[in-house]
Amino acid sequence: MIQPRTLKGFRDYPPDLMLQREWMLEQARKVYRSYGFAPIDTPALELTEILLGKGGAETDKQLYRFTDHGGRDVALRFDLTVPFARFAAENIGKLSTPFKRYHMGPVWRGENTQRGRYREFWQCDFDTIGTTSNAADIEVVLVIHDLMKALKLDHFAMHINNRLILNGLLEELGLADQTKQALISLDKLPKIGRDAVMQEMAEKAEIAPPQAQRLLALAEMAGANDDVLARLKKDFGGNAKAADGIARLEALLATVARAGVDPAMIKVDLSIARGLDYYTGTIYETFLTDLPAIGSVCSGGRYDNLASLYTKQVLPGVGASLGLDRLLAALEELKVLKNVSTPAPVLMVQFSAEHLGDYQKMARSLRAAGIGVEVYPEAKKIGAQLQYAEKRGFRLALIAGPDEFAQGVWKIKDLAKREERAAAANDILNVIQTMLMQTML
Amino acid sequence: MIQPRTLKGFRDYPPDLMLQREWMLEQARKVYRSYGFAPIDTPALELTEILLGKGGAETDKQLYRFTDHGGRDVALRFDLTVPFARFAAENIGKLSTPFKRYHMGPVWRGENTQRGRYREFWQCDFDTIGTTSNAADIEVVLVIHDLMKALKLDHFAMHINNRLILNGLLEELGLADQTKQALISLDKLPKIGRDAVMQEMAEKAEIAPPQAQRLLALAEMAGANDDVLARLKKDFGGNAKAADGIARLEALLATVARAGVDPAMIKVDLSIARGLDYYTGTIYETFLTDLPAIGSVCSGGRYDNLASLYTKQVLPGVGASLGLDRLLAALEELKVLKNVSTPAPVLMVQFSAEHLGDYQKMARSLRAAGIGVEVYPEAKKIGAQLQYAEKRGFRLALIAGPDEFAQGVWKIKDLAKREERAAAANDILNVIQTMLMQTML
């Protein structure tokens, strides 16, 4: 006999977790689609040369890579961006630009397994490519806003920045050549703190403490968005890059407000740099006010060229990614997920096997009205069937035995309240709809 | 520069195909859930010893198998049944029985690539385990019925059989020892024809032509379900196995009819045996009347024990699987898929960039009412924007320039009919809802 087990770093999704994941995916799908982002999918396996070197040395090491039956060097995708770049390079002629896509699916990385980190996890990306228009950057804010609301994560803050501003500041500070390392270090500010960032800047980029201090002072600048932008304009508006970045952020804030979204959820934050990423313009991070420790749950930015390794066609774009599994793991750890493992709210008790057709008939009429009904498969004792219903998280149980069939009146049990009602057969749909509304309050 | 391409046997899903796949998955999800089947997911990768030998020599050869970073022998799942068996063995104590699950996801097989066959394809399985009750077998028929209706495949025929009947017949014909090979050959009847089946039975199972002829005559028995079952009962009712199988089919037909499903869509068909599969009771195959050539699109059956290789707990069950990609490939080949690559019906033209906030504001109010609206990202010429809208398959375009803002009246273009209407800003939702209803007729 073989011991049943999953691979280290992998996990199953039992119904309670999976119901939550499907709900989250459905919310994301609805929001993405409502803005005209269209779904695509790409294979889990790609030729290794397509993936290698696109995510840096770290992801190269983590690739699930092997030789297939045809002697090809292949690997499992480690994100959804590189396959999208390959897809775009291959198909953009047919698809034409602007092209808006979302992509939701698992990715694989053989990384060290930490708490809440798995070697297989889901990403939910959305991007608009083929345009440099700020309208696309602005829309990302609207999408993230709607996404958080749809996920019922009402307490969130979206932090935005623009790489152009950071680049302009570094130019003005005489640190243009150290941009890359400066941003990598800056990005670590919330994790390692001020002193360690200054030390790293000195060691790795020869940025002297006074300069590092000026940079950190700017990054940590607090205040209303308008004040921050006004001060930046005053101090660095003469720098062309900074001025461009500031103008784009200003237009973003004004347009989002005009579109009717509360500007209080957006914070201009010069400290977000998104490390090594290939972003070149607007940058987004999204934090849950009640769960800051899990980091950004929806991040992204603008890039100059998506697919330069595969095509000469320049494909600028902007997008973001919902860290679905990070969010799910956090909700799981916080034990805020409901202990429900059935997607159907009603259990039809099988009182006697001879009435199975009648039970399924009634169940079908409820299903046709959009109410899920599971019919218990065996005519076991009612107590055992109700115990099953409670364990699975059903909200109502529907019972009809000889007496009920004789009178044409069925019993409906509210499993949480442990209350019972009777309803005429032709009135059951109404009564159940009302009771389900009440259990949701 | 790297040539962008997919691996042989793999393919991308661009928006038009992916919209169709997501729609099909949504229909399946809704139907499965309405019966209380709960979603699960398992990793794409499993330890090879979990998968090996479970699907026969053929699937063993086709495994995407390799050594991971920890030196483990791992492989990509080749179906959703074996991972479910492993999952059930590992978790059934916690989950308890009966357990109803659905599982939708990709599987991988390094098989020869034929027309419409890919090395990565989706399966959509549903099963009830932990009960031998015929109620679960009967429910499979109801689920398949609802599934076909939900997929708008109204012209279908569900063929059902019971292995117990076949086993009983073979016993009575003195062929009990040749059961396995007899059923493998019988299963090929629609593909290779009568003579070839008889020849194979003679060669591989030493079944003499007169016996083979009797078996084939039974398998090909035509007529109304009642007549077929009556004749079987008369001729073979003395055999315990056959009698049991006949009784279960009779109860199935009676209960399904009592539940209100048209019995004309069900056909008792002794010729379906499902070859090498591990089925032991009821067997299901589903054919599209207009597309018989693609074979069964939803097949399954009852089995005695799901997870005997991983646990001593006996887990009998019954279920079926929707061959989603086979169906999708067939619809694609038939060119019945709509040429639509946007999930949103409305394109908001960006007439002038300064009104972007107003466009997004109007778009948000439509999105809140459930109508997807894409705002074009650049203030290009209207003609170019409308061309984009037509190419993508948008149904309506919404236009507002200086005149429209001055008058508070927007233009709405029906892109298929090439008609234009005007609507007051506060009436746009109503007008668009009406126009969308009309374009769907």
Over residues A358-403, the pLDDT tens digits come to 999 999 999 999 999 999 999 999 999 999 999 999 999 999 999 9
| Measured distance CA(A91)–CA(B18) in Å, rounded | 15
Instruction: Give A331 or B344, the one with higher predicted confidence.
Output: B344
Indicate the pLDDT class of residue B326, thresholds 50, 70 and 90. Answer: confident
**3-class state of residue B237 by DSSP:** coil
Report the pLDDT value the prediction gives residue B180, as an integer from 0 to 100.
85
Q: Where does CATH 3.30.930.10 sit in chain B?
A: 15-333
CB A408 within 8 A of CB A427: no
Shortest alpha-carbon distance between residue A320 and chain B (Å) = 17
d(CA B314, CA B304): 8
Amino acid B41: pLDDT: 98
How far apart CA A141 and CA A301 sit, in angstroms, is 10
* CATH numeric code, A15-333: 3.30.930.10
> What is the rounded CA–CA span in Å between residue A19 and residue A25?
10
pLDDT for A83 beyond 80 = yes
Q: Which residues have a Cβ under 8 Å from the Cβ of B385 and sit 6 or more positions away? A: B347, B349, B350, B376, B397
Superfamily of domain B346-440: Anticodon-binding domain (3.40.50.800)
Contact B198, B214 (CB under 8 A): no
Q: Measured between CB atoms, does B258 come within 8 Å of chain A?
A: yes
pLDDT score of B433 more than 90: yes
pLDDT given at position B331 = 76
Residues of A in contact with B21 (CB under 8 A): 41
Q: Which of A18, A50, A95 sits opposite B41 (nearest CB)?
A: A18
**Who among B89, B309, B375 is closest to A139 (CB)?**
B375
Tokens at residue B81, please?
């049944």
| Lowest mean pLDDT, pick from A238-247, B6-15, B57-66, B415-424 | B57-66
Q: What confidence score (pLDDT) does residue B320 get?
A: 97
Q: How many CB atoms lie within 10 A of CB B70?
A: 10
Residues B253-278: tens digit of each pLDDT: 999 999 999 989 999 999 998 766 68
pLDDT digits (tens, 9 = 90+) for B195-215: 999 999 999 989 999 999 988
User: How close, in Å, is residue A223 to chain B by CA atoms?
Assistant: 25
Report chain B residues whose CB lies below 8 A from the CB of A2: 49-50, 309-310
A143 Cβ contact partners less than 8 Å away, ≥ 6 residues apart: A31, A32, A35, A37, A126, A320
- Tell me which chain A residue has its CA closest to the CA of residue B256: A357
In whole angstroms, what is the distance from residue B423 CA to residue A419 CA? 52
Which H or E run contains A253?
helix A240-258
φ and ψ of B216, to 5 deg: -65, -35
Average pLDDT in chain B: 92
User: How many whole angstroms from its chain centre is CA B417?
Assistant: 35
Q: Which residues of A210-219 are buried (b: 16+ CB within 10 A; e: fewer)?
A: ebbeebbebb
Q: Which of A420, A403, A2, A343 is nearest to B53 (CA)?
A: A2
| DSSP string over A166-218 | HHHHHHHTT-GGGHHHHHHHHTTHHHHHHHHHHHHHHHHH---HHHHHHHHHH
The Cα–Cα gap between B317 and B95 comes to 15
Residues of chain A positioned with their CB less than 8 A from the CB of B44? 44, 76, 106, 108, 120
Which residues on A lie below 8 Å from B257 (Cβ)? 357
Distance from CA of A200 to the nearest CA of B (A): 32
Contact B409, B423 (CB under 8 A): yes
Give the gap in angstroms from C-alpha A155 to the nearest C-alpha of chain B: 20
> What sign results for the dihedral spanned by CA atoms B289, B295, B297, B301?
positive
pTM of the model: 0.94
Is B38 strand, coil or helix?
strand
Whether chain B has a CB inside 8 Å of the CB on A398: the answer is: no
Place of tokens 């984009």: B388
What is the residue whose two structure tokens read 């708008």? B152
pLDDT confidence of residue A338: 76
Q: Which of A106, A257, A374 lies closest to B35 in CB terms?
A: A374
pLDDT (tens digit per residue) in A266-313: 999 998 987 666 899 999 999 998 888 888 999 999 999 989 989 999
On chain A, the residues whose CB falls within 8 A of the CB of B357 are: 254-259
Pair type for strands A373-375 and A346-348: parallel
Pairing of β A266-268 and β A156-162 = parallel
Do you find a cis peptide bond into B316, omega within 30 degrees of 0? Answer: no
Residue A419, min C-alpha distance to chain B (Å): 22
- Across the range B116-129, mean pLDDT stands at 92
The H or E element containing residue A128 is: strand A120-129
* Span B40-53, average pLDDT: 95
Helix (H) or strand (E) holding B108: strand B99-108
Q: Give A-chain residues touching B95 at CB under 8 angstroms.
A: 14-15, 341
Q: Identify all chain B residues contacting A12, using CB atoms and an 8 Å cutoff.
A: 40-43, 87, 90-91
The predicted pLDDT at position A53 comes to 80
| A221-243 tens-digit pLDDT | 889 999 999 999 999 999 999 99
Distance CA(A15)–CA(B64), nearest Å, equals 27
CA of A131 vs chain B CAs: smallest distance (Å)? 7
For A227, the token pair is: 């004040």
Contact call for B358 and A138, based on CB within 8 A: no
Query: What's the rounded mean pLDDT across residues B230-239?
Result: 93
Rg (Cα) of chain A, in Å, rounded? 27
Distance, CA of A395 to CA of A413 (rounded, Å): 8
Among A21, A39, A259, beta carbon nearest to B22: A39
Integer CA distances (angstroms), B277 to A260, A407, B21, in order:
59, 47, 27
**Is the sign of the CA dihedral B96, B102, B105, B109 positive or negative?**
positive
Please name the residue that has the structure tokens 């928006």: B15
- Compute the nearest-CA separation of A352 from chain B (Å): 11
Work out the average pLDDT over A328-357: 87
Interatomic CA distance for residues B74 and B88, integer angstroms: 20
Please give the share of chain A, as a percent, with pLDDT higher than 70. Answer: 98
Distance to chain B for A198, nearest Cα, Å: 36
What residues of B are in contact with residue A309 (Cβ under 8 Å)? 1-2
What is the Cα Rg of chain B in Å? 27
One-letter amino acid for residue A38 of the chain: A
What confidence category does residue A325 fall into, taking pLDDT thresholds of 50, 70 and 90? confident
Output the CA torsion B261→B264→B270→B274 (10° steps): -60
Residues A68 and B66: their CA atoms lie apart, in Å, by: 9
SS3 B11: coil
CB pairs under 8 A between A and B: 313
DSSP A44: S
Residue B441: the pLDDT is: 57
Strand partners, A398: A348, A412
A77 near A54, Cβ under 8 Å? no
Burial of B322 (0-12, 13-18, 19+ CB in 10 A): buried
Is the pLDDT reported for residue B335 higher than 60? Answer: yes
Among B8, B18, B376, the residue with its CB nearest the CB of A41 is B18
Cα A109 to chain centroid, rounded: 18
CA distance A168 to A178: 12
Q: Which neighbouring-strand residues pair with B413?
A: B397, B420
- Give me the pLDDT at residue B379, please: 96
Please tell me the distance from the alpha carbon of residue A39 to that of residue B22, in angstroms, as a whole number. 8
DSSP single-letter state for residue A13: B
A8 — contact with chain B (CB < 8 Å)?
yes
Per-residue pLDDT tens digits for A152-191 = 888 999 999 999 999 999 999 899 888 888 888 888 888 8
Chain A contact present for B70, CB below 8 A: yes
pLDDT of residue B133: 97
Q: Where in chain A is the domain with CATH 3.40.50.800?
A: 346-440
* Cβ(B40)–Cβ(A14) below 8 Å: yes
Tens of pLDDT, residue by residue over A101-160, are 999 999 999 987 766 679 999 999 999 999 999 999 999 999 999 999 999 888 999 999
Beta bridge partners of B309: none
Contact with chain B for residue A368, Cβ under 8 A? no
Inter-chain CB proximity A357 and B309 less than 8 Å: no
Q: Which of residues 17-56 of B touch A (CB under 8 A)?
A: 18-19, 21-22, 29, 32-47, 49-50
C-alpha B104: how far from chain center = 9
Burial tier of A169 (Cβ tally within 10 Å: 0-12, 13-18, 19+): buried
* Contact assessment for residue A175 and residue A248, using Cβ atoms and an 8 Å cutoff: no
Find chain B residues with C-beta within 8 A of A256's C-beta.
357
CA B118-B121-B127 angle, to 5 degrees, is: 145
Alpha-helical regions (H) of B4-80: 15-34, 48-51, 56-62
DSSP state of B139: H
Pairwise CA distance, residues B351 & A301, whole Å: 26
pLDDT band at A441 (very low <50, low <70, confident <90, very high): low
Rounded CA-CA distance A416/A434 in Å is 15
Write the pLDDT tens digit of every residue in B86-115. 999 999 999 889 999 999 999 999 987 766
pLDDT for residue A265: 94
Angle at which helix B163-172 crosses helix B240-258, to 10 degrees, equals: 150
**What is the separation, in whole angstroms, between the first and last Cα of chain A?**
49
Question: Rounded to a whole number, what is the distance in Å from the CA of A347 to chain B's nearest CA?
Answer: 8
pLDDT at A440: 65
Grade residue A434 by pLDDT with cuts at 50, 70 and 90: very high
Q: Which of A29, A47, A106 has the CB atom closest to B7's CB atom?
A: A47
Strands A298-303 and A317-322, sheet pairing: antiparallel
Q: Could you tell me if B296 lies within 8 Å of chain A, comparing CB atoms?
A: no
Q: Which residue of chain B comes nearest to A317, CA vs CA?
A: B377
A91 interaction partners in chain B (CB closer than 8 Å): 12, 14
